[in-house]
């Protein structure tokens, strides 16, 4: 069996895509833009969810994650 065993706490590409609500192709594109990952072997990438979320917040802004800044809320 050649399957890479799951590492505790790390996500595969499909799981990251689901976490962010995007396609696996988008994850590939984000990797080329600097999305952090751990490479296991030559082709197996795994992602730390905390690092992924921190990168998205830093690079894309919290609005894209559905968080509204308090200054933009009208009351």
Q: Where do the structural domains in the chain lie, given as residue ranges?
A: 13-61
**3-class secondary structure per residue, the chain:** CCCCCCCCCCECHHHHHHHHCCCHHHHHHHHHCCCCCEEECCCEEEECHHHHHHHHHHHHCHHHHCCCCHHHCCC
Q: What is the pLDDT of residue 8?
A: 76
Predicted model pTM: 0.70
57-68 tens-digit pLDDT:
888 775 544 544
Q: What is the pLDDT of residue 6?
A: 60
């Amino acid at each position: 069996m050649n399957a890479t065993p799951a590492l505790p706490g790390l996500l595969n590409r499909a799981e990251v895509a689901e976490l962010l609500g995007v396609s696996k192709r988008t994850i590939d594109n984000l990797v080329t833009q600097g999305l952090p990952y751990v490479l296991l072997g030559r082709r197996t990438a795994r992602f730390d969810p905390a690092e992924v979320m921190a990168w998205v917040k830093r690079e894309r802004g919290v609005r894209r994650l559905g968080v509204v800044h308090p200054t933009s809320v009208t009351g």
